[in-house]
Structure 1
Amino acid sequence: MPPPGKVPRKENLGLQCEWGSCSFVCSAMEEFCEHVTQHLRQHLHASGEEEDEEEDPLEEEFSCLWQECGFCSMDSSADLIRHVYFHCYHTKLKQWGLQALQSQADLSPCILDFQSRNIIPDIPDHFLCLWEHCESSFDNPEWFYRHVEAHSLCCEYQAVGKDNQVVLCGWKGCTCTFKDCRKLREHLRSHTQEKVVACPTCGGMFANNTKFLDHIRRQTALDQQRFQCSHCSKRFATERLLRDHMRNHVNHYKCPLCDMTCPLPSSLRNHMRFRHSEDRPFKCDCCEYSCKNLIDLRKHLDTHSKEPAYRCDFESCGFSARSLCSIKSHYRKVHEGDSEPRYKCHVCDKCFTRGNNLTVHLREKHQFKWPSGHPRFRYKEHEDGYMRLQLVRYESVELTQQLLRQPQDGLDPGASLSESSLQGIILEAVPGDPGPQEEAEEEEEGGSGDGTALSASQDTPSPVIHVVNQTNAQGEQESICCLHGGLRRRL
């Protein structure tokens, strides 16, 4: 059995036309696209005749007849043509996915909705090649991706130093270099957004076979998910899926205005918006209320509703309310004693039915403070079923070194970060990640969709700081940072 991702592809494909009731099947993309072109010509010709007969043509004249699709263009036949040709390309990707799945004897088919298998993304005006001095455009993605691949195969090597030669990416605005044309071809997928495989059941498209097979493995039954995250207790079917998940727990970014650290650029942007910005772009049409996000506005609009939007879930209770705040207040005042206490203090073992009550207890009884820059505590479910305070966080060594230097240098290490620059920061690998060679093999298996340059792939994995919040002998809170390998230092 071949390893995950390294799937031998057969020459013959079962490309089945799904236009209306057509049952045509062939094995070559050229023949398949030509067949579908005939459907398009007949469909558009018939629509044109209807338009001549009726001065006010119906919008449905540019509707797609592919099974389970429902696409309808209100603008022009060109939109429909590009859309239908993408169905051709999508059909090929689903065949690649079927072959990949059949090569993995231990995997079952996708269990998601089969009726979504032919739902494809919105197609741009044209598939435009931005290789230097080119700018060719295509309606058919199959020909577009073949055209771009030809650019990668025709590149000339350029000398770097005495012994090294590289190929340059000629895409507009890109300066990446690669050791061979194959790596360049994989990189170009980050510019074209090309996908190389699709799920034959639900139609989802993926940048490589590894990600597609992960899509299947994530549907594994819970009793077969043997790998558990020690930080949040979530389970996974494979160790690599667990490693990928663990990256989301490592803090790499620091707020330039406070000491908050977080794992993702999007988390930092949200923090900046809610904690350090006064902008309230979402405004109520019924009153002067304004807020910072659409969710809060929708909650507020419920208060203007004539009918109650929320009803109590407890049996024999007929309480209803127009706002989520009111229904929560009702639960707290009336039904709190009906629930088993699930939140337990890790210091004194006192139990609470709600996390908010435990938060008040920790702050008032034990003088705990919220993590810097965060508005709440986080609780983790333990093996005994109780939720207790999350005492551990993970931060990259680079970020921790910035925090340690901050009081010495008198500078804010995050001050130079902006929303635009955050996009360019590469996330470090957590301990246990595969080395550069193993990562490179995974990209080779199905191609990389993230456009990682050669220089980035050669970096060694960064270690991770394990930060533990604890109470010392004097009853004071302190944070101990432990570098994997034994280093300990107080923050």
Structure 2
Amino acid sequence: MGLQAQQGHPDLSPCQLDTQSRNMIPELQDSFVCLWDKCESPFENAEWYYRHVDSHGLNAEYEAAGKENRVLLCGWKDCDCSCKSRCKLREHLRSHTQEKVVSCPNCGGMFANNTKFYDHLRRQTSLDQHRFQCSHCSKRFATERLLRDHMRNHVNHYKCPLCDMTCPLPSTLRTHIRFRHSDERPYKCQHCDYSCKNLVDLRKHLDTHSKVPTYSCDYGDCSFNARSLCSIKAHCRKVHEGDSEPRYKCHVCEKCFTRGNNLTVHLRKKHQFKWPSGHPRFRYKEHDDGFLRLQLVRYESVELTEQLMKEREKQGAPLDAASACLVLGPEGGLYERTGAEGAAERDCVLLSE
């Protein structure tokens, strides 16, 4: 289907990514449960599960939205989405089931619909065609819709029930819980005692058991080869792409580093910064001068911010929801700025629906 979709859009350049994952079977969960209202039917077969959930979209009834408009409401647990057409609702349901129906014929990336596959190709167009820039992280995109989709990833809507981590999507929250709060490692190496939490990590590990180099450098007459893709990428950045300039700058003392993890060590040891609860690492934001500095503000949706405020009020720390923001600081993860100080910070804090 991906090949047919690509051939139908000759104006889009083919995918240029690595082909190592092409035709790989995707990682699937062991069981599936439909979370449509009053359903909760369990399935052991992915296709039966996808077809069952799709039937909810086919049978959903329109409801009034205002005087003239009618919409289809998603009945999935904790979802408030509404769609104007049955087709859109069925596509939306794939965001809950993680069903993928189109695959890139080159790299093997899998997508919920043709539009997302086309976006995958557009993201790879030359940078001079990327005219739309994110005001938060300075990344550029080929279309305005890609920029809008990207900016949603800066706003967190879902809070982890086990810590203070907040995530932009249900899928990222599930991944966070699996990696930060679960000790289960179901993927085991057949050659040694290694085990891991997902299939991607297992495949990377299996490369280390190979005696023959799996990857080789594509630059000119370079004969470098390695048994892992990350080693090849690191080689290309260091040797061929000149990525040795120190671009990571400490916002406290202005010291520069060539790698983000070196700056992370510096911030933790020299300035005693700590990760907020649930966060696996610091995040860095590119500034106008080309340097990447620590991202200090965490972006929450209005609804999630109000939820966090209520939780803090229950703990005896009342906050002004109109002007409060969450900021990463030393020694204590997140702290709140309120009142006039918080109001001054509003210009750089995104509190959107």
TM (norm. structure 2) is: 0.57
Counterpart secondary structure, 2:85: helix
CA distance in 2, matches of 1:338, 1:227: 25
Shift of residue 321, structure 1, vs aligned partner: 5.3
Q: What per-residue deviation string (whole Å, max 9, x for no partner) do you get for residues 388-436 of structure 1?
A: 112222101221222222244369xxxxxxxxxxxxxxxxxxxxxxxxx
Quick one: which amino acid aligns to residue 85 of structure 2?
H
Counterpart secondary structure, 1:404: helix
Counterpart in the other structure of 2:96 = none
Counterpart secondary structure, 2:298: strand
Aligned counterparts, 1:192-203, within 5 A: none
Counterpart secondary structure, 2:254: coil
Higher relative contact order (CA 8 A, sep 6+): 1
CA distance in 1, matches of 2:231, 2:122: 41
Taking a change above 3 Å as real, the CA distance of residues 393 and 308 of structure 1, as seen in their structure-2 partners, is: same
8 Å contact kept, 1:395–1:465: no
Shift of residue 233, structure 1, vs aligned partner: 1.0
Counterpart secondary structure, 1:270: helix
8 Å contact kept, 1:283–1:289: yes
Shift of residue 265, structure 1, vs aligned partner: 0.5
Moved more, 390-399 or 320-329: 320-329
Quick one: which amino acid aligns to residue 11 of structure 2?
C
Among residues 87, 98, 101, which one is paired with 1:189 in the alignment? Answer: 87
Matched, 1:469 2:334: no
Among residues 255, 267, 280, which one is paired with 1:350 in the alignment? Answer: 255
8 Å contact kept, 2:137–2:286: yes
Q: What per-residue deviation string (whole Å, max 9, x for no partner) do you get for residues 467-488 of structure 1?
A: 443579xx997443799x9487
Counterpart secondary structure, 1:384: coil
CA distance in 2, matches of 1:241, 1:288: 42
Taking a change above 3 Å as real, the CA distance of residues 222 and 403 of structure 1, as seen in their structure-2 partners, is: same
Matched, 1:111 2:12: yes
8 Å contact kept, 2:272–2:330: no
Percent of residue pairs identical: 64
8 Å contact kept, 1:397–1:465: no
CA distance in 1, matches of 2:288, 2:132: 15
Counterpart in the other structure of 2:276 = 371
CA distance in 1, matches of 2:119, 2:58: 30
Counterpart in the other structure of 1:340 = 245
CA distance in 1, matches of 2:69, 2:303: 33
Matched, 1:302 2:188: no
Counterpart in the other structure of 2:186 = 281
The answer to which structure has the higher helix fraction is 1
Quick one: which amino acid aligns to residue 288 of structure 1?
D
Shift of residue 287, structure 1, vs aligned partner: 2.3
Counterpart secondary structure, 1:359: helix
Larger Rg: 1
Q: What per-residue deviation string (whole Å, max 9, x for no partner) do you get for residues 222-259 of structure 1?
A: 44544311222122456555334322211000100011
Quick one: which amino acid aligns to residue 136 of structure 2?
H
CA distance in 2, matches of 1:304, 1:383: 44
Any stretches of 5+ residues in structure 1 without a counterpart? Answer: 1-67, 70-89, 98-108, 115-168, 195-201, 412-462
TM (norm. structure 1) is: 0.43
CA distance in 1, matches of 2:131, 2:234: 39
Shift of residue 329, structure 1, vs aligned partner: 10
Counterpart secondary structure, 1:395: coil
Quick one: which amino acid aligns to residue 337 of structure 2?
I
Any stretches of 5+ residues in structure 2 without a counterpart? Answer: 16-55, 73-82, 93-104, 106-110, 317-321, 347-353
Counterpart in the other structure of 2:24 = none
8 Å contact kept, 1:470–1:477: yes
Shift of residue 183, structure 1, vs aligned partner: 5.4
Among residues 162, 171, 174, which one is paired with 1:269 in the alignment? Answer: 174
Counterpart secondary structure, 1:388: strand
8 Å contact kept, 1:343–1:354: yes
Q: What per-residue deviation string (whole Å, max 9, x for no partner) do you get for residues 111-164 of structure 1?
A: 2349xxxxxxxxxxxxxxxxxxxxxxxxxxxxxxxxxxxxxxxxxxxxxxxxxx
